[in-house]
């Protein structure tokens, strides 16, 4: 995740993960668009997932993972309830 730090002199510095600038400024507009779309869905930046998005692979955000887990858990609960009846 990008962050801000303040040094002992009171100056603020923005910290950006290595590789993010390269992914965002790719010469291929489609690649950089996919990276931006993936980036905007993330709460915490994941460079590996952004690289997957740049290549056109499916990327998973934390929210997607939690949603899948919730659906899986609900499905298992429903199946357990059905089996008991």
pLDDT in tens, 44-73: 788 888 899 999 887 665 555 555 555 555
C-alpha span between 77 and 8 (Å, rounded): 54
Query: Taking 70 as the threshold, does the pLDDT of residue 82 lie above it?
Result: no
**Nearest-angstrom CA–CA distance, 49 and 60:** 7
pTM: 0.56
- Percent of the chain that is helix, strand, coil (3-state, to 5): 60, 10, 30
């Amino acid at each position: 995740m990008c962050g801000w730090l303040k040094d002992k002199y009171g100056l603020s510095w923005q910290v950006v993960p290595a590789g993010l600038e390269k992914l965002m400024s790719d010469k291929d507009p489609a690649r950089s668009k996919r990276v931006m779309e993936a980036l905007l869905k993330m709460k915490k930046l994941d460079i590996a997932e952004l690289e997957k998005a740049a290549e056109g692979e499916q990327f998973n955000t934390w929210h997607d993972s939690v949603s899948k887990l919730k659906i899986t858990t609900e499905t298992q609960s429903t199946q357990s309830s059905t089996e008991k009846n």
